[in-house]
């Protein structure tokens, strides 16, 4: 049975998706081209209407059983506490992406899909702020965020079970398939370690260590 320090708590967010900041500008790098600017504008307008940004998180004590049973990445072995988070933007945007694709509106469909990816990352950033707040109040440092199945962590996707066991994602409409992928697809999950004797990271979601160096969404602070 999970021993919580913070029981699963769900949150909702109001996102203002634009090119002026946040993740959107990184996902829409070609937005300055006049030929597609009208599609970008429509994609942002649709995204702001369709996104339903939500998150759920919990905090529990780390222990040897969790480390061994779920093969936690090395930096988490030294953590005293574990912060679990799941974020999503719901399924309305994804449904619209499919509709546009079926209608042959490929440009707008692709742009809206990118807007959705940026939106769910921004929602994860909001949860990341919760991590920092919790740690600062207790004079703790944090590891980076580890996401099952991501190239940056090399942590197998089946370990989604750990995060789902410690949160209640159904409260925000997120479920796990038999192959350990999340639905809606525009959802993220992660775990962060907290302790006094670990090095503090600057950014929870840095791509440092990921082998996909050609990824168009690659993000490393300072670069």
pLDDT at 28: 80
Over residues 24-53, mean pLDDT: 84
Q: Give the structural domain span for 76.
A: 4-195
Taking only the tens place, the pLDDT of each residue in 2-21 is 889 999 999 999 999 988 76
The answer as to whether 206 is a domain residue is no
| In a domain? residue 221 | no
- Specify if 220 maps to a domain: no
Asked whether residue 77 is assigned to any structural domain, the reply reads: yes
Q: Residue 40 phi/psi, 5° resolution?
A: -60, -45
> Residue 167 — very low, low, confident or very high, per pLDDT cuts 50/70/90?
very high
pLDDT score, position 169: 97
pLDDT of residue 218: 52
Task: Pick the range with the lowest mean pLDDT from 58-62, 112-116, 178-182, 206-210.
Answer: 206-210
CATH number of 87's domain: 3.40.109.40
pLDDT at 19: 83
Task: State the total domains in the chain.
Answer: 1
Cα 193-199-202 angle, rounded to 5 deg? 85
How far, in Å, CA of 33 to CA of 150, rounded? 31
Average pLDDT, the chain: 89
**What are 10's strand-pairing partners?**
56
Residue 55 within any structural domain of the chain: yes
Identify whether 32 is part of a domain: yes
On the question of a cis peptide bond just before residue 13, with omega within 30 degrees of 0, the verdict is no
Give the integer Cα–Cα distance in Å for 141 and 2: 23
Q: Is residue 36 included in any domain, yes or no?
A: yes
Domain-embedded: residue 175: yes
Compute how many other C-beta atoms are within 10 angstroms of the C-beta atom of residue 165: 14
151-164: average pLDDT: 88
Q: What is the pLDDT of residue 202?
A: 83
């Amino acid at each position: 049975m999970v021993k919580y320090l913070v029981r699963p708590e769900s949150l909702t967010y109001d996102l203002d998706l634009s090119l002026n900041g946040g993740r959107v500008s990184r996902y829409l790098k070609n937005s300055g081209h006049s030929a597609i600017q009208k599609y970008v504008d429509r994609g942002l307008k649709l995204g702001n209407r369709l996104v339903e940004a939500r998150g759920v998180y919990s905090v529990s004590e780390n222990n040897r059983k969790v480390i061994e049973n779920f093969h936690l990445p090395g930096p988490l072995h030294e953590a005293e506490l574990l912060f679990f988070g799941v974020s999503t933007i719901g399924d309305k945007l994804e449904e619209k992406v499919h509709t546009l694709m079926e209608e042959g509106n490929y440009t707008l469909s692709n742009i809206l899909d990118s807007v959705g990816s940026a939106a769910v990352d921004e929602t994860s950033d909001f949860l990341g702020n919760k991590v920092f707040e919790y740690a600062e109040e207790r004079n703790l440092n944090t590891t980076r965020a580890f996401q099952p199945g991501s190239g940056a962590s090399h942590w197998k996707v089946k370990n989604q079970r750990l995060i789902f066991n410690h949160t209640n994602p159904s409260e925000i409409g997120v479920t796990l398939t038999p192959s350990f992928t999340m639905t809606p697809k525009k959802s993220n999950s992660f775990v962060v370690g907290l302790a006094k004797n670990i090095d503090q990271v600057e950014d929870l979601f840095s791509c440092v260590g990921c082998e996909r160096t050609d990824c168009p969404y690659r993000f490393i602070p300072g670069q």
